[in-house]
Amino acid sequence: MRLFSLDFLDLTPKLVSKAYAFAESNHYGQVRKHTEEPYITHPVAVAAVINQLRQDEDMIIASLLHDIVEDTEVELIEIVNKFNIRSADLVLELTSDKIEKKKMGKKKYLVEKINNMSSDALTIKLVDRLHNISDINVDIVPIGFAKWYWKETRYILEHIDRNLNKEQLALIGLIDSMLNYIKILYNFNYSVSAD
């Protein structure tokens, strides 16, 4: 199920195009879990939605680079030097601390992170989660992974405890709709606990 268009890249400013090229080269050879699509399709999809919502260049750049520090050898200082501090700050907010995540447990870590990040980072994070959840397809993704991701996402949504703007509430509504769709798609015939 494809909800996102990559066409916006033809219309982007020079710095966004540079961020795309940087992300594409650093994610080269990586593929999406279960779909085997080139990994770059994910940050591009997130950036496309951010472009539709905000048309904020720094947020679009951060969307394109949101997984780059966590999943490649790129260091945050490179993002500061090649792009700008605001985009780098957003990427930092979106990058998981592997030690803290292990210590706290992934779900609790993500909830704490989401509840304390800036509003712009939260918007990117919600679009990231929306794209990930929309990529779950019964023909490709094993039921075990679908249940695990469904439970994790449900837990996160149930534990968001912060002020949300209308855009973020709408994104949460879309994520919730996708969760319901996945529950039907995979024929979860029982209540899947979020704990």
In b/e form, how buried is each residue of 181-190, taking b as 16+ CB within 10 angstroms?
ebbebbeeee
Cα 142 to Cα 121: distance, rounded to the nearest angstrom: 30
Q: Which residues contact 145 (CB under 8 A, 6 or more apart)?
A: 33, 34, 136
Active site residue 36: no
DSSP 8-state secondary structure symbol assigned to residue 27: S
Q: Which of 24, 56, 71, 78 is catalytic?
A: 71
Q: Which of 37, 70, 100, 158 is catalytic?
A: 70
Q: Say which residue the tokens 């996945």 belong to.
A: 182
Active site residue 71: yes
**How many secondary structure helices (H) and strands (E) does the chain include?**
11, 0
Inter-residue contact 67 to 41 (CB < 8 Å) = no
Residues with active-site annotation:
70-71
